[in-house]
């Protein structure tokens, strides 16, 4: 009997691994692949749990509590929604994101499954970086045929993503793990993977700069600096400060400041308008919001100023938009979930090996970078970006369970 069951179980785990890795790869270039891989991964995951007779959600109790209340708040917002059909789709998206978080956190808690994840991560990162470099010089990427946006006669690299902002979001979310892998391999056995990791990290930083997304660059710098401070990597921190100083000194002013026709900083002025508009929605619907996934359609009803700037646009602040859609109690539950996630990663554990801590914090720093960038952009409400966040957040919990 033992021989009969071992092979199917191993095949099932391999299929589960392949599905999760395909989901990750698809985030960069194919929505269809993401949806197919998600369904397969969820199916194999639930069958795997059933065969083990393990019906528990193996997540931190407080995280389960806060995510549960967050979903309940979203359900109430959907029931009272101005656009019920949009809110129903929003609830399905939320469940999908939480499922990705759960699967990544639980499945990769088994240390033996991580090497293949790290290998695929490096290989696909190489493809994506090569695609971004090709687009910079040729004007069009190879994977999707997207053209680079031109600003001041210079390309803003987007690779296989629809916009440079989405590519920047992906880079700042994943590059810290790339950096952590490089540090980890520097301390371990030397080999080709070490040099590949460092080369890909520096190319990723270069491409991030070439997206010319100031918010993403600032978020990346802040998250990476916090990671280095926590790890006490003072030499790397000093090198980072020197690089930032050089960039600020020598980068052309027009790359850092974008003036509008009135001579004002365009991005700042527009975000003030967008954030004020979101605050008006929150004041009008503070408890249950307009309904999850409805801000783009619902905000005009509550916009009292009717400013001509950036009409019919997202809030460019994920937290304000979340509050506008599901209410302040829902936002509070999400923030409590994040605080619990922070507490898990910043607690001291003398038994944790340094290599495990480096990889875990690399994943967490990527998730933190995304959260910082979401304060000034729309990435929290864009499918590839927010799925990458939930995937990385789940992996960061998985890696906290070191061998």
- Reported as a single tens digit per residue, the pLDDT across 308-343 is 566 667 788 999 999 999 999 999 999 999 999 999
Map tokens 């979001």 to a residue. 169
pLDDT at 262 over 90: no
Task: State the angle between helix axes of 2-26 and 114-138 in degrees (0 to 180), rounded to the nearest 10.
Answer: 20
User: For residue 153, what pLDDT band results from cuts at 50, 70 and 90?
Assistant: low
Give the pLDDT mean for 166-182.
Answer: 95
Q: How many residues does the chain have?
A: 403
> Of 78-92, 111-125, 310-324, which range is least confident?
310-324
Backbone conformation region of residue 120, classed left if phi is above 0, alpha if psi is from -120 to 50, else beta:
alpha
pLDDT at 108 over 60: yes
pLDDT at res. 172: 97
pLDDT tens track for 207-216 = 999 998 889 9
pLDDT at 17 over 50: yes
pLDDT at res. 303: 76
pLDDT at 6 over 50: no
> Of 78-92, 127-141, 225-239, 386-400, which range is least confident?
225-239
CB 358 within 8 A of CB 233: no
User: For residue 300, what pLDDT band results from cuts at 50, 70 and 90?
Assistant: confident
Q: Whose CA is closest to 387, among 146, 87, 45, 28?
A: 28
Rounded Cα–Cα distance for residues 389 and 100 (Å): 10
User: For residue 5, what pLDDT band results from cuts at 50, 70 and 90?
Assistant: very low
Percent of the chain with pLDDT over 90: 64
Rounded Cα–Cα distance for residues 391 and 393 (Å): 6
pLDDT at res. 261: 54
Give the pLDDT mean for 102-116.
Answer: 94
> Of 172-186, 247-261, 277-291, 341-355, which range is least confident?
247-261
pLDDT at 4 over 50: no
pLDDT at res. 79: 95
Give the pLDDT mean for 149-169.
Answer: 89
pLDDT at 26 over 80: yes
pLDDT at 3 over 50: no
pLDDT at 35 over 50: yes
Token representation of residue 104: 């990544």
Rg (CA), the chain: 22
> Of 7-11, 29-33, 61-65, 117-121, which range is least confident?
7-11
Task: State the angle between helix axes of 164-187 and 192-211 in degrees (0 to 180), rounded to the nearest 10.
Answer: 150
User: For residue 190, what pLDDT band results from cuts at 50, 70 and 90?
Assistant: low
pLDDT at 263 over 60: no
- Please say whether the dihedral angle defined by the alpha carbons of residues 59, 65, 70 and 74, taken in this order, is positive or negative: positive
Backbone conformation region of residue 293, classed left if phi is above 0, alpha if psi is from -120 to 50, else beta:
left
For 338-375, b/e burial (b = at least 16 CB within 10 A) is bebbeebbeeeeeeeeebbbbbbbbbbbbbbbbbbbbb
Give the pLDDT mean for 64-76.
Answer: 97
User: For residue 272, what pLDDT band results from cuts at 50, 70 and 90?
Assistant: confident
pLDDT at res. 74: 97
Sorted by sequence, the CB contacts under 8 Å of residue 265 that are 6+ apart come out as 257, 258, 259
Rounded Cα–Cα distance for residues 37 and 383 (Å): 15
pLDDT at res. 189: 63
Give the pLDDT mean for 184-197.
Answer: 77
CB 359 within 8 A of CB 141: no
pLDDT at 352 over 90: no
């Amino acid at each position: 009997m033992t021989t009969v069951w071992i092979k199917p179980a191993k095949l099932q785990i391999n299929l589960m691994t392949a599905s999760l890795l395909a989901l990750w790869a698809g985030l960069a270039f194919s929505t269809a692949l993401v949806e197919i891989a998600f369904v397969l991964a969820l199916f194999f995951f639930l069958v795997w749990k059933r065969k083990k007779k393990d019906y528990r959600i193996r997540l931190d109790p407080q995280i389960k509590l806060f995510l549960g209340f967050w979903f309940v708040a979203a359900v109430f917002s959907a029931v009272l929604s101005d656009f019920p059909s949009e809110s129903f789709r929003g609830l399905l998206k939320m469940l999908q994101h939480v499922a990705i978080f759960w699967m990544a956190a639980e499945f990769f808690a088994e240390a033996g499954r991580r090497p293949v994840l790290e290998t695929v991560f490096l290989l696909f990162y190489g493809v994506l970086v090569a695609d971004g470099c090709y687009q910079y010089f040729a004007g069009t990427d190879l994977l999707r045929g997207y053209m680079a946006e031109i600003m001041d006669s210079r390309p803003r690299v987007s690779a296989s993503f629809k916009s440079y902002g989405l590519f920047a979001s992906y880079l700042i979310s994943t590059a810290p793990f790339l950096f952590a892998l490089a540090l980890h391999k520097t301390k371990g056995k030397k080999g080709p993977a070490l040099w590949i990791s460092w080369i890909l990290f520096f190319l990723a930083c270069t491409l991030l700069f070439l997206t010319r997304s100031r918010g993403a660059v600032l978020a990346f710098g802040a998250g990476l600096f916090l990671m280095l401070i926590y790890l006490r990597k003072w030499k790397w921190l000093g090198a980072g400060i020197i690089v930032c100083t050089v960039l600020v000194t020598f980068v052309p002013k027009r790359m850092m400041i974008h003036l509008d026709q009135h001579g004002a900083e365009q991005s700042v002025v527009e975000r003030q308008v967008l954030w004020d508009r979101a605050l008006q929605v929150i004041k009008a619907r503070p408890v249950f919001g307009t309904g999850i996934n409805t801000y783009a359609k619902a905000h005009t009803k509550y916009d009292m100023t009717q400013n001509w700037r950036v009409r019919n646009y997202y809030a460019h602040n994920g937290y304000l938009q979340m509050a506008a859609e599901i209410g302040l109690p829902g936002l509070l539950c999400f923030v409590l979930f994040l605080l619990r996630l922070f507490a898990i990663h910043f607690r001291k554990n003398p038994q944790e090996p340094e290599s495990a801590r480096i990889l875990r914090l690399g994943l967490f720093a990527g998730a933190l970078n995304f959260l910082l960038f979401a304060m000034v952009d729309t990435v929290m409400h864009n499918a590839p970006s927010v799925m990458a966040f939930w995937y990385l957040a789940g992996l960061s919990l998985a890696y906290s369970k070191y061998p």
